[in-house]
Structure 1
Amino acid sequence: MERSVGFWKRLGASVLDGLIIFFPLFILFDLTLGWGDNHPVPNIIQYLVMLILPVLWYGYTVGKKLMGIRIVKVDGQDVGIGTMLMRFLLANILYGLTLGIGVLVSAFMVGIRDDHRSIHDFIAGTYVTEAKPGELS
């Protein structure tokens, strides 16, 4: 995996996504409509952003772009909607079924493995890299 990214940069990107995209979205829905966590619309928007933005933006989310990292397939190609469905939705189902233990295992995998791949990377055939679009063979 060329220029794969470890735990701290990936965590930083997730925190930035939360602060820039999801926290304001939650506040908007909660203050204007009183929905907050009790309504599925903010969650649906969150899922759509996490699924579609990397497909349209060369593997970047807002947080990943700010951290200079992106999601790619193991062959270096850009991710498509099928890849992101596997990476995000199937992995979240697995993490839910394991009551969060899968998330902890994934965090250790990213921190310990040489290729820094997590469970959801293996499910989807992806990894996170510092390489910009067009730099991977």
Structure 2
Amino acid sequence: MSSTTTDKNSPALVSPQVKLVGFTPEEVTAPFSLRCGALIMDYLIIVFMPALFMVISRASGNDGAGLLNSGLNDIGWLLGVLLALVSGVLLPVATGKTIGKMLAGIQIVKTDGADISIGRMILRQVVAILLFPLTLGISFFWSAFSPLNRSLHDILAGTMVIYASRRIRD
């Protein structure tokens, strides 16, 4: 008869749903300035494609109405919209992060620190996309005054943004 021992690092004890033990949001919440940086990076990455293709179109000899009506301009806007969908919806559903959040080292989790379900993440992202222009940005800037830096869409979806490493910051 053989005896087996397992420790807490054993693969047999790892569950597919990650939940933090002793999670205290105050210790790992991402500051408003970092969230702003991630949002600005997301915006710049998305706007880069239309701008790049407009420059290429201009370099190809188009100007005025020809510049705006060129096929290159259309390709740039199409790529920008696709990039916005990937970064704004698909990546957060798959990873809990937009491209900007990846670069900033932050991610979206439930308020108890657990990973978010697909349905909740889609709800969060759709509400964020709708609320931001409808409230002229107030829905996002609400997080500057919220105790846990939660935006209105975070409050409605029961989520928060934390440091991706999930470690306590000094």
CA distance in 1, matches of 2:94, 2:73: 31
Q: 1:9 aligns with which of 34, 43, 55?
A: 34
Tell me if the contact between 2:42 and 2:100 (Cα under 8 Å) persists in the aligned partners. Answer: yes
**Matches of 1:45 and 1:68 in 2, distance apart?**
20
Partner of 2:89: 51
Larger C-alpha radius of gyration, 1 or 2? 2
* 3-state SS, counterpart of residue 108 of structure 2: strand
The answer for unaligned runs of 5 or more in structure 2 is 1-24, 58-70
**Alignment of 1:91 onto 2:128:** yes
Listed one character per residue, the Cα deviations across residues 53-95 of structure 1 (whole Å, up to 9, x for unaligned) are 12222x2222212222111111212233312221121233234
2:80 matches 1:42? yes
State the Cα RMSD in Å.
Answer: 2.8
Q: Which residue of 2 is the match for residue 126 of structure 1?
A: 159
What's the secondary structure of 2:112's corresponding residue? Answer: coil
Note if contact 1:4-1:116 (Cα within 8 Å) is conserved in structure 2.
Answer: yes
Q: In the alignment, is residue 117 of structure 1 matched against residue 155 of structure 2?
A: no
Question: How far did 1:105 drift?
Answer: 4.5
Segment drifting more, 79-88 vs 69-78: 79-88
| Distance verdict in 2 for CA 1:77–1:130, change over 3 Å | same
Higher relative contact order (CA 8 A, sep 6+): 1
Could you tell me how far apart the structure 2 residues matched to 1:123 and 1:50 are? 17
Residue 92 and residue 56 in structure 1: after superposition, are their counterparts in 2 closer, same or farther (change >3 A)?
closer
Instruction: Give the gaps of 5 or more residues in structure 1.
Output: none
TM-score computed with the length of structure 2 as normaliser: 0.61
